[in-house]
Chain A
Amino acid sequence: MTAPIASAPLLCIRDLHKSYGEHIKVLQGLNIEMKPGERVVVIGPSGGGKSTLLRVVMGLEQIQAGSVSLGGKPYIDARGRKTVIDTELRRKIGMVFQHYTLFPHLSIMENLVLAPRKVNAESRASATERGRKILDRFGLAAKADAYPSQLSGGQKQRVAIARALMLDPQLMLFDEVTSALDPELVAEVEAVILQLAEQGMPMMMVTHDMWFARNVASRVIFCAGGVVVEDGPPEQVLGHPREERTREFINRVFHIKT
């Protein structure tokens, strides 16, 4: 008994083809439909196209074929040799990267208010007010006037998440956001993502942390060779994979001897 509007896909990725040069084919006809409220974790061997998929969805890459729609409206479309991107729609997607991308010449608060002020012409007072609330929520209120160089890696990633949230995204993308962190800093970043998950923020993420994937995902997609190999709830894909390739991968990353 779901209303039609709720079952309409939030994100619809159709027949995505992406290659670097002539020979390196990263995505080869990839299809994913994501419903509102879903938290999709993409796993798979390196070189399988996981990060490229997220970069394409963010509109950072040229594609050779396919399209991506948000809320039923296509915003990335391969037309001939050109990739047409609707930048208005793209803005509704937020992304956090593996490497720290805080702008080093701006304070934490300036990092947060830059895009709302420049892109949405929000007043400094209003943006700062919202920024304070988000920093407070993430336990970073004391760092508002600090510079990125004065923060730990975990704090930087939390600020990067806060910065993306300043634009009220309809979908968040996390591309291996804990891979560059020291092990003891991973938990604080994952806690912030879990907090967002509990609030119902739709998200798609790439991670190598299978335990975190199991905790946060409502759905797990195993990607290899540029296509979706297996797609299902975390209990299935991570626990009892149906596909042989998934099983091999899961066994390897969980260090289970067969």
Chain B
Amino acid sequence: MDYILDLGAVTRNMDQLWQGLGVTLLLTLAANAIGIVAGFGLALLVLNRLAIIRIPAMLFVEFFRCTPALIQIVWFFYCVPMLFNVFLDPITMGILALGLNLTAFNAEAYRAAIQGVPREHLDAGIALGLSPAQRILNIVLPQALRNSVPVLLTNGIGIFQQSALVAIVGVADLMYQGKTLATETYRPIETFTVVALIYLAISFPVSQFVGWLERRRGYAVR
């Protein structure tokens, strides 16, 4: 193979990649803000006793869990403007698409954490005379929120990686900038390697942190 690696082609154009990373981080943080808040609300709907509330919420969750994220993004970009006659800038559309996807996954994380609070703790709450609202506020939620943190972080960093999919609809994120740079410089190996390393450099510490949290939690539960 007579291909000679030349990282200079990439390092000379890092500004372009940093710009893309800025967009990627914006997408990630905004989608997480939506997913963490709306996911909790959705979990409460999924756990609702009334079928008329519960079933649509479950369908929403299953739609996002059972279709490829790529389809969701493409569908959002092409179909929403046509169906509802709303035209938003690409970044906002990307945030909404990723945010709704994350909302569905986080709702599952919250639901599992809420249902994971031992029944006996609720019995003890009744025996202590706490009202249903007091039991939820003082016993269920603090434990559920704590237990859901590792999954929320895992989902959050998952969305950071999934956000690369919005490059396909022209959002100028890290992936998009990398693709552009690779085309302009004819240096796909160097460019995509550096882009991958940037994703890794951000994901890896977070996933290590999640691992540490879970080990600590495992210790705490014992």
Cβ of A23 under 8 Å from chain B = no
**Residues 28-85 of A contacting B (Cβ, < 8 Å):** 55, 58-60
Cβ of A208 under 8 Å from chain B = no
Binds B, one of A113-121, A127-135, A185-193, A224-232: A113-121
Size bracket of the A interface = 20 to 34
Count of A-B contacts with CB under 8 A?
A: 67
Residue of B nearest to A160 (CB): B124
A94 to B139, CA, bound (A): 18
State whether A60 touches B128 (Cβ < 8 A). no
State whether B129 touches A119 (Cβ < 8 A). yes
State whether A149 touches B220 (Cβ < 8 A). yes
Contacts of A91 on B, CB cut-off 8 Å? 129
A137 to B127, CA, bound (A): 22
Size bracket of the B interface = 20 to 34
Contact of A87 among B118, B129, B143, B222 (CB under 8 A): B129
Contact of B221 among A90, A94, A149, A164 (CB under 8 A): A149
State whether A119 touches B143 (Cβ < 8 A). no
Contact of A60 among B121, B123, B143, B219 (CB under 8 A): B123
State whether B126 touches A60 (Cβ < 8 A). yes
If A105-B143, A149-B220, A149-B221 touch, does A119 touch B128 (CB 8 Å cutoff)?
yes
Cβ of A143 under 8 Å from chain B = no
A126 to B220, CA, bound (A): 30
**Residues 144-160 of A contacting B (Cβ, < 8 Å):** 147, 149, 160
Interface residues of B, dominant DSSP: helix
Interface residues of A, dominant DSSP: mixed
Cβ of B65 under 8 Å from chain A = no
Cβ of A194 under 8 Å from chain B = no
Cβ of B130 under 8 Å from chain A = yes
Contacts of A115 on B, CB cut-off 8 Å? 128-130
Contact string against B for A residues 97-115, beta-carbon threshold 8 Å, 1 for contact and 0 otherwise? 1010101111000000011
A106 to B142, CA, bound (A): 9
Contacts of A106 on B, CB cut-off 8 Å? 142
Contacts of B134 on A, CB cut-off 8 Å? 118-119
State whether B220 touches A59 (Cβ < 8 A). no
Contacts of A103 on B, CB cut-off 8 Å? 121, 124, 138-139, 142-143
A93 to B127, CA, bound (A): 7
Residue of A nearest to B142 (CB): A105
**What are 14 inter-chain pairs, A to B, with CB distance below 8 A?**
A58-B123, A58-B126, A60-B127, A87-B129, A91-B129, A95-B124, A97-B120, A103-B142, A105-B142, A115-B128, A115-B130, A118-B130, A119-B129, A163-B128
